[in-house]
Each structure stands twice: as C-alpha cells, then as structure tokens.
Chain A
Amino acid sequence: DQQVKQNSPSLSVQEGRISILNCDYTNSMFDYFLWYKKYPAEGPTFLISISSIKDKNEDGRFTVFLNKSAKHLSLHIVPSQPGDSAVYFCAASRSSNTGKLIFGQGTTLQVKP
C-alpha cells in the first residue's frame, strides 16, 4: 500500500526554467509534508516543509504547494540550476511531531546547462 506516490520517476529541465515535482498521497490523516533532496553517496537532505493548515510555503527558489482536497503537493524550483540535479523525495507524517515519515519513491531531476 503506497500511501505517498511520486508518479514521475524522472524530470529534465533547462537551466533557468521552472522545475515542478509532484506528489500524491492517499491518507487524509497526514498533517505534515516535507521534501528531501538526495545526491549520490549522501543521505537525504531536508529541503522544505509544509503543515496541513497551510497551502503554500516558500523558501528562496523553492516553493511547496499543498492541495488537501486533491491530496496533492508539488515542489516548484525557480529558477532551476544544474546543482539542483538530484533525487527528490516527498514525505508525509500522520502523527504530528513523531518523525515517522512515509516517503514516496523519488523523482530524479536533471537540470541541463
């Protein structure tokens, strides 16, 4: 039972353009959502998060949007840079503040110079 799904295994964009990574979830009890970025041979690194009481959170070039009715969240990266090339995981938590996260399968982003 995949509660968090990232249906696009990969995404390729041109440097300077917008990258949009998508994530769908099935459990309406999730109340906190996060995006992690992972480079090869490194552990996942926290990028940005959003609680279920909000629909948008912005941090520099990164913005996360949450659509609770559609059970959908997305990560926008503007402008995209070659250094953003990595695997991006979305994650969700259904018990506030436990740190028990349910991860999606990941989307590999390639930003071409």
Chain B
Amino acid sequence: DTGVSQNPRHKITKRGQNVTFRCDPISEHNRLYWYRQTLGQGPEFLTYFQNEAQLEKSRLLSDRFSAERPKGSFSTLEIQRTEQGDSAMYLCASSFSGGGFGANVLTFGAGSRLTVL
C-alpha cells in the first residue's frame, strides 16, 4: 500500500468552471476525510465518510461543493462554479475506526492544489 493518493496534484482553472478531485485512501481504512488548507493556516475540516456514508459536513462546505464515496472506496470532491476564494490545497486523509482513538490518527495525502484565476 502506497498510502493516500490524490489526483490531480495541481489544477488551474478559470472562475466559473467545475473541478473534481479524486482521493484513493489506504485500503484497510474505513474512514475518509476531506480538509482544506489555505496559506498560513492549518487544515480545516470539510467532510468525512465512514465506508460509503457521509457522516458530517462542515458549514464551510457550501452548496457548490459535493463529495462522494461510492462503494466505500475512493472519493471525489467536486466544486461547481469555482470562485477565486476556492483557491486552496485540498487534502484527503483516511483512518481506521475500530475502537479507541484510532480514527483520530489520520494519514494524509499530498493534497490537490487548486488555483482559480
């Protein structure tokens, strides 16, 4: 297992376009998370899945954002009608929820950097 994989690593788009990011988690992990990080800040929670169920969404996740995790494997994060304020690093992470505090120990991918012109 090569860890959490994210694609594309960098996306440049024009305002108003739609973009989609993909995340492949560690195969043994049943939880998958999306975080967003802007310059000079720490990652901010967006949403998470346990298997295929989306259990929580942050208020940061506007209606233009949608995340899916079909079949509880990979996940996609789509941003519709992108705005310049969406420019950020989008981080995916996974963990295993099996009791104790294990689910809190997230393994992050390298991120997908979005630049909206």
Residues in A lying within 8 Å of B, measured CB to CB: 4, 32, 34, 36, 41-46, 49, 51, 89, 91, 93, 96-106
Contact = CB atoms under 8 A, between A and B. Distances in A.
Contacts of B104: 32, 34, 49, 93, 96-99, 101
Interface in B36-83: 40-45, 48, 56
Given A89-B42, A102-B45, A103-B44, A43 B103 contact: no
A96 B105 contact: no
B33 A105 contact: no
Interface of B: 4, 31, 33, 40-45, 48, 56, 91, 93, 95, 97, 99-111
A62 to B, nearest CB: 15
- Residue of A46, A97, A99 contacting most chain B CB atoms (<10 Å): A99
A49 B102 CA distance: 10
A106 B38 CA distance: 12
Contacts of B105: 34, 46, 49
Given A91-B42, A106-B42, A99 B110 contact: no
A46 B48 contact: no
A106 B100 CA distance: 26
B97 to A, nearest CB: 6
B4 A43 contact: yes
A98 B108 contact: no
A46 B105 CA distance: 7
